[in-house]
Amino acid sequence: MKSKSRLLAAVLVLFSSAPLHADEKHHEDPTKIVTKAGIAYNEELKFSGSIGLDEARMINARINADGDEWRVGGSWLLPLGIVNFNFSRSEYDNDAYKNNYSIGTFVPLSYFGLEPYGWQLFPMAGYSYNDGEVAYFDDSSVDNDYVLMPTSTHGGYLGAFGLKPLNKQWSLLAFGGGSMGSDDYSGYWAGIGASYKISEAQSFNLFSIFAEDDFGENNSVGVSYTYEFN
């Protein structure tokens, strides 16, 4: 409970701070403060959106059609990078689930004049707390029975997001990272994709995601459409 209280206190500090100016950025830039709405399909229908409160602060949310998986959070833009916090719930096979509380940041390497081979890179790092239930199987059982065990862990994560504009419409996307925590917790995530800018307000994405941790795995291919409000 102490960790959750500290996280909530940090969120209140962020949202009470003065806004900063945000420059025009690529539509897939993870440090962009924007108001938008989107719909995606990767094995199930998902809805997402964000609201820019001002030039520096934003709240966002995502939920699947069944309502059993969701994420809510917010962002605060800094002179160098952006700080994000998120609360989320994820469902896995065999009735396992995970609640995640995290706070972290993206830092654009372009700030230091680094864009190797035209890639805009954004290293990410942060703290996360997970709790939920993990399915443990009985290897001696013919019926492959399992039992759900409550699990919680504190830890951190490191990774990076990258985008490479090919022309005015198409861009390549890639991301990856890993996490480690208490009680031997570990996980990884990776993904690749392409983004097509239909107009100044609309974009279309194709993507593939590979993710696994102690709670389960989430490997999928999907498509998404986003409308950005000016």
Cα separations in angstroms, 22 against 37, 62, 188: 20, 23, 31
Interstrand relation of 120-137 and 97-106 (parallel, antiparallel or unpaired): antiparallel
Q: What pTM, to 2 d.p., does this model score?
A: 0.85
Percent with pLDDT over 70 in the chain:
87
**Nearest-angstrom CA–CA distance, 94 and 148:** 9
Kindly report, residue by residue over 99-119, the tens digit of the pLDDT: 999 999 999 999 999 999 999
Q: What is the pLDDT of residue 144?
A: 65
Average pLDDT over the chain, rounded to whole?
A: 89
Q: Which helix (H) or strand (E) holds 73?
A: strand 70-77
Q: What is the pLDDT of residue 15?
A: 37
Strand partners, 153: 130
Lowest mean pLDDT among 53-57, 116-120, 132-136, 161-165: 132-136
Percent with pLDDT over 90 in the chain:
79
Kindly report, residue by residue over 55-97, the tens digit of the pLDDT: 999 999 999 999 999 999 999 999 989 999 999 999 998 889 9
Kindly report, residue by residue over 5-55, the tens digit of the pLDDT: 444 444 334 333 434 344 579 999 999 999 999 999 998 999 999 999 999
